[in-house]
Structure 1
Amino acid sequence: MGDYRGVSEMQEKTSPGPDPSDSGAKGGSAGTADAAPVRPVIPAAAAKRANASVIGMIVALVVSIAAFLPIILMNPLPKSDGFRPNIDVGAVARNATDVAGFTPVTPDTGKSFTSNYARWESGTGSGVPTWEVGYLTPNQSFIGLVQTRQSNPTWLVQQTKSAPVTGTRAAGGQDWELRDTGKGEKSMVLNYRGTTVVLTGSAQLDEFAELATAVVQSMDANPAVTVSPSASTAP
C-alpha cells in the first residue's frame, strides 16, 4: 500500500500544469485587444475659434473677389489681333494742307499697313513744322513718317537719332538715304519735290521699302502747293 501512494505522489508532482507566465501573456494580449482606441477631444472653445478663422478667411476671399471683379469686367483683355485704331489719314491731311504749305503725303499701302496716328505739328519746340503719321507694319513693327519743307541738319540728326549714313535704298524709283543706328532702329531719308520725308522705326528693310514706295507715289500724285502757311490753328 505504501508503494502505490509513492507512485501516485510522484505522478501528481510530474503532471504538467498551467504555466503562470503563459496565462499572464494571454491575459495581457486579450486586454490590449479589448481596449478601445483613444480619441483626442478638442475643447468646445478651441473648436469654435478654429471654425471662426476658416469662416473669416472665406469671407475675406469673397470680399476681395467682389472688389476686383468690376475692374476686370470694365477692362477686358485685348483680342489676339490687337487694337487697331481707325485713322483716316487722308482726311487729316486735307485739313492740314493749307497750314502746311504743301500737300502732306498719304501713302496707300492697302490693308497691309495700318495707321495709329496722323497729325500736323506746328514745330513750337523744334522750330520745324511737320506732318507726322505712325504706321504698324504687317509684322507688327512700327515706322514713323515725318515730312517737312523746312528741314535742317540739326533737325535731321534729331529725327534719325544721330544714326550715321550707311548707304542708299531704292524705293519708288528714288534713292533714299539709309541711316542705321545698329541697335534695331533705322531711318530712310528722301529730299523730293521741295519736302523732306523721314521714315524711322524698327521694321525690316523690305517693309521700309514698301512704305517708301507708297510715299513716292503719293508725292508724285500730289505736287507740293505754293500756298504760304496760314496762321490758323493746326488741326
Structure 2
Amino acid sequence: MSTEQHPSSQDTISTDDSSEPVVPLITQKQAQRIHAPARNMIISMAVMILILIPILWLTPALTSNKNHYNPQVDLDSIAYLSSQEAGYPVAAPEIDGWRYNFARWKSRQADGINFWNTGQLTAQAGYIELVQAQNTNPTWIAQRVNNAPVQRTQEVAGVLWDVRIYTPKDGEPTISYVGTVSGTTVILNGQSSEDEIIQLAHAVIAYEKNPTKTVEPTPSSGIQ
C-alpha cells in the first residue's frame, strides 16, 4: 500500500526569479566612511605632485646627462682646496677647447681611500673622467673601471698605463687608462677617442711636474 507524501512548507524550494535583490541600507555617515579612504588617497597624491613639481623644476641635474656643461666650476679654488686636503697637488690641467663640467674632492669614503675627481668635455664632444688617489689597491682600481680587464699597456710620456675597455650591453664602450703619476694612481675613464685620452694623459703628467694651482686663489695672487 503506497502512501503519497506531500512536501511540507519547510521543504518547499522557491524558484521565483522575479524576486528583487535585497539592497542594504546605510546611513549617510557610513557612506562618508566608505568614500573617505579613496578621497584621502586622491588628496595625498595631489599634494605629492605639488611638492615634486618645484623640486624637479629647480633641479636640472636630475634630468641632465654627464655631458652637461657647468660654467660655474671654479677650478682654481677647488683644486687648491682639494690639494690641501689630499696632501699632494691634484691633477688639474687645462687643455685648449676642453671644458670642465665638475671638479670635487671625495672624502670620508667607506674604504678610507679619498680621491680627486673631475670630468671634462673634450674638443671632439667626448667625455673623460679623471680619478686620482694615493694608497690604492687592485680592488679599488677594479671598482673604478667596472672590473674591466687589462687589454694592453701603453707608454705615455715615460709612464706605463694599463689600458682597460668596458663594453656595456647598451651604450658605448669606456676606455680606461690606469697609471702611476707622481706617486698617485691616476685613472682616465673616457667615452672619447683614445687619442684624446692620451692627450689628457700627457697633460696630467706635465701638470704634475709643474702644478700651478697650489697658491690660494685671492685677488692679490692674480687668480680669480
2:175 corresponds to: 186
Q: 1:168 maps to which residue?
A: 153
Offset from partner CA, 1:172-204 (integer Å, 9 cap, x none): 332221111244111001112211100012111
Of the three residues 110, 118, 125, the one matched with 1:133 is 118
Q: Note the 1:17-166 alignment, pairs <5 A.
A: 83-110=69-96, 112-166=97-151
The alignment status of 1:218 with 2:204, answered yes or no, reads no
Contact 2:106 2:115 in 1 (8 A): yes
TM-score (norm 1): 0.56
Native 8 Å contact 1:86 1:115 kept in 2:
no
Q: Higher relative contact order by CA 8 Å / sep ≥ 6: 1 or 2?
A: 1
Q: TM-score, normalised by structure 2?
A: 0.59
> Partner of 1:199 in structure 2?
188
CA gap 1:114/1:182 in 2 versus in 1, 3 angstroms: same
SS of residue in 1 equivalent to 2:146: coil
Q: Tell me if structure 1 keeps the 8 A contact 2:131–2:187.
A: yes
Rounded to whole Å, the distance in 2 between the matches of 1:121 and 1:83 is 20
Q: Distance in 1 between matches of 2:138 and 2:180?
A: 13
Give the secondary-structure state (helix, strand or coil) at the position aligned to 2:160. Answer: strand
Name the structure where helix makes up a greater proportion of residues: 1
* Structure 1: distance between partners of 2:157 and 2:72: 26
Cα RMSD over matched residues?
2.7
Paired residue type of 1:100: A
In structure 1, list runs of 5 or more residues that go unmatched. Answer: 1-73, 76-81, 226-235
Q: In structure 2, do the counterparts of structure 1 residues 91 and 185 end up closer, same or farther at CA, with 3 Å as the change threshold?
A: same
Aligned structure 1 segments of 4 or more residues deviating by more than 2 angstroms:
123-127, 169-175
Q: For this pair of structures, how many residues does the alignment match? A: 147
- 2:31 is aligned to none
Give 1:57's aligned residue.
none
CA deviation after TM superposition for structure 1 residue 152, in Å? 1.0
Q: Say if 1:123 and 1:130, in contact at 8 Å, map to a contact too.
A: no
Cα distance per residue 1:137-184 (max 9 Å; x no partner): 122221110100121111100001101101122323322211112441
Q: Which amino acid aligns with 1:187?
A: S
User: Take 2:166 and 2:108, find their aligned partners in 1: how far apart are those partners?
Assistant: 25
